[in-house]
Amino acid sequence: MKRYKVIVLLLCLTLFAGILAGCGSHKKKEKSEEGTSTSKDSGELDDITLEGMVSDALSGMTLKEKIGQMFIVCTDSLDFDAETEVTKKMQQKLEEYKPGGVIFFSYNLKEREQVKSMIADIQKSNDIPLFISVDEEGGSVARIANSKNMQTTKFPAMSEIGKSGDSKKACEVGETIGKEIRELGFNLDFAPVADVNTNAENTEIGNRSFSSDAKTVAGMVSQEVKGLQSQGVSSTLKHFPGQGQCGEDTHKGYVDLNATIDRLREVEFLPFESGIAAGADMVMMSHVAVSQVTGKETPASLTKLMVTDILREELQFNNVIITDAMNMKVITKFYDADQAAVMAVQAGNDMILMPDNFEQAFEGVLEAVKDGTISESKINEAVSRILSVKIRRGILPTDSKLFRHNAGK
């Protein structure tokens, strides 16, 4: 028992140190920035302690609870009428399926106290706290800052930050966004954009990218990751393998990146490698096809070569891999919700974002485990990574009853 009290104390101290770190340590770390992870600044536990806590939590979960952790859903997939409050139907769905997270959009954001109250009600639904997520990039994609009653800082498009050439500004953006959205109850930001905007005709990324220069984007991305996570908010590098070269929009249909693996390694991968080295908690998979690499027209998000062989193994990303929104037309036009979800898990994704039909997708993964299409060990690996991030970021508290050493307290 004494050993566990020491572990809990160490976790609290490391989390506090992470909050203090922020952009202030930026200059001192410039020399080692590319090769050294700064995840200790985010409250990293030693591997043995973290693995023990994850094992404790995992051992007490049912298969359905594990699968639930692998989904982040929007409120209207739980109840179409649940926009600014948790309805009875939404509460029932949260308790039944126990999703790993919820994503907010502008229609969920009426005013500050309403958002805080709604998030608090959502968090009451599960013993494992949820990722409360949002797209808060700055510029045009800033659900919170662009909602008139939320009273948070409005930033220009990230291309303007990139033009400054000062990566410390990207850290300050991340730090400010992280602090302000954390105060509202959010703990996951789907930012920064790690795409290199090399196609001037690109309408999906455009000025959301820091630059058309890969090294500039890489420097900015790593600093925004540090800024966000110094405030206890998980960052997400998006959209792997990079879609700044595309000319079409994956929200509307099929898009091929039209790039070789050599091109990807020379340009598109650089910001992701930098963000991974900075300790990013998540990477979001794009739905672009990479036919010159995979030999297929299948979206990158659904291909093992891109998700597991390249991102997980070649780039050595060990945290959570999440799909882009699965209700986008590039997915829904060709796949049913259950089929797409199963393919996503088989490819190596840990989390599925916004399936077109949440219940169908959930049941599809559940049935795939039961019939052996997906092994339960694969589910356990994914959920272990999810829980690890939630513990390190302070989302899942150390005094949770999920940990055996707290049983009976």
Q: Is 251 a catalytic residue?
A: yes
> Amino acid identity of 302?
L
* The amino acid at 369: V
Number of Cβ within 10 Å of residue 275's Cβ equals 29
Dist. CA 288–CA 202, nearest whole Å: 13
Structure tokens at 111: 């005013």
Catalytic site residue from 135, 281, 324, 338: 324
Omega of the bond leading into 192 within 30 degrees of 0 (cis): yes
Residue with tokens 């502008």: 106
Q: How many CB atoms lie within 10 A of CB 352?
A: 29
Count of beta carbons in the 10 Å neighbourhood of residue 291: 14
Whether the CB-CB separation of 219 and 274 falls below 8 Å is answered with yes
| CA 250/CA 285 separation, integer angstroms | 12
Which candidate in 251, 309, 336, 405 is catalytic?
A: 251
Phi first, then psi: give them for residue 188, nearest 5 degrees. -145, 125
CB atoms within 10 A of CB 24: 11
Dist CA 400 CA 188 (whole Å): 20
Active site annotation includes 324: yes
Phi first, then psi, for residue 340 (nearest 5°) are: -65, -40
Catalytic residues: 251, 324
